[in-house]
Structure 1
Amino acid sequence: MFKKILVPVDLSHLDALQPGLTAAADLARHYGAEVCYFGVTATTPGTLARTPQEYHGLLEAFANEQAQVHGQTTSAHSTASPDPVADVDDAIVDAIAAVNADLVVMATHLPKHLDAVVPSHGTKVASSTDVSVFLVRQ
């Protein structure tokens, strides 16, 4: 049913993403799908990487590590933005098309009152694409 699963990751907060990473790996195993890890980085030097190319190398290393751990095909796709926090939702939607994903698996937080004013990333992504979006609670 699914051939390519897009998994947005923040390499600075991998511990918080574990439920989503596990769910994506389990779904990929079940469907024989590839997992594409996606990240958005700044165009300026940051604490994780000095350049978008360096960030992509870190993301590729993470994808390769996940391939070894779970025994499945993985890939990495990244994009750079002047404001990753503001652009992450649109970047995820663009990445879905760029990698031809048919499922997105995202870790998410429990709903809060602020979500009425600032919706979650999962809500925005799900309402902006025609592929399935699986939100995994932390």
Structure 2
Amino acid sequence: MYQSIAMPVDLSHTDKLEKALKVTGDLAKLYSSKVYLLAVTASAPSSIAHNLKEFKERLDSYAKAQEGEFGVIFEAVVIPCADPAADMDKSLNHWLHENPVDLVVMASHVPSFKDHIFHSHGSFLASHTDKSILLVR
């Protein structure tokens, strides 16, 4: 049913991804799917990495750890973006349209007042892509 699954990740909040990772890993194992871990980042130094190469190495390491945990292929994909705070949704949406992904699994938060003013990343993708989106709280 699902040959490939994408999961956007934020390496600065990996502690909040456990449920979504479990769902992703379990679905990938069930359907023998490949998982793409997507991370949008700027080329400027950040608290995670000094440059894109180091960021990719950290994401690769995180993907390898998930492979060991779930026994399925996790491929790290870095999506460079000039301003991730402003363009993350568009960058993810562009990547999803350019690549053969059957399902997107995303960690989500409990809605709050600010969600009435600003859309969440999951709601943006659900309304702007033709991919199936599974939000995990």
TM-score of the alignment, normalized to the shorter chain, above 0.5: yes
- Percent same amino acid at aligned positions? 38
The 8 Å contact of residues 96 and 102 in structure 1, kept in 2 or not, is answered as no
Listed as ranges, the matches of 1:115-126 within 5 Å are 115-126=115-126
5+ long unaligned stretches in structure 2 = none
Q: Which amino acid aligns with 1:135?
A: L
When the two chains are superposed, the root-mean-square deviation of aligned CA atoms in Å is 1.1
Q: CA deviation at 1:74?
A: 1.4
Listed as ranges, the matches of 1:1-138 within 5 Å are 1-137=1-137
Q: CA deviation at 1:42?
A: 1.5
SS at match of 1:96: helix
5+ long unaligned stretches in structure 1 = none
Q: What is the alpha-carbon distance in structure 2 between the residues aligned to residue 99 and residue 63 of structure 1?
A: 19
Q: What is the alpha-carbon distance in structure 1 between the residues aligned to residue 99 and residue 62 of structure 2?
A: 18
Count of aligned pairs: 137
Q: CA deviation at 1:84?
A: 0.9
Q: What is the alpha-carbon distance in structure 2 between the residues aligned to residue 89 and residue 31 of structure 1?
A: 27
Q: CA deviation at 1:127?
A: 0.7
The 8 Å contact of residues 5 and 102 in structure 2, kept in 1 or not, is answered as yes
Q: What is the alpha-carbon distance in structure 2 between the residues aligned to residue 118 and residue 15 of structure 1?
A: 24
Q: TM-score, normalised by structure 2?
A: 0.95
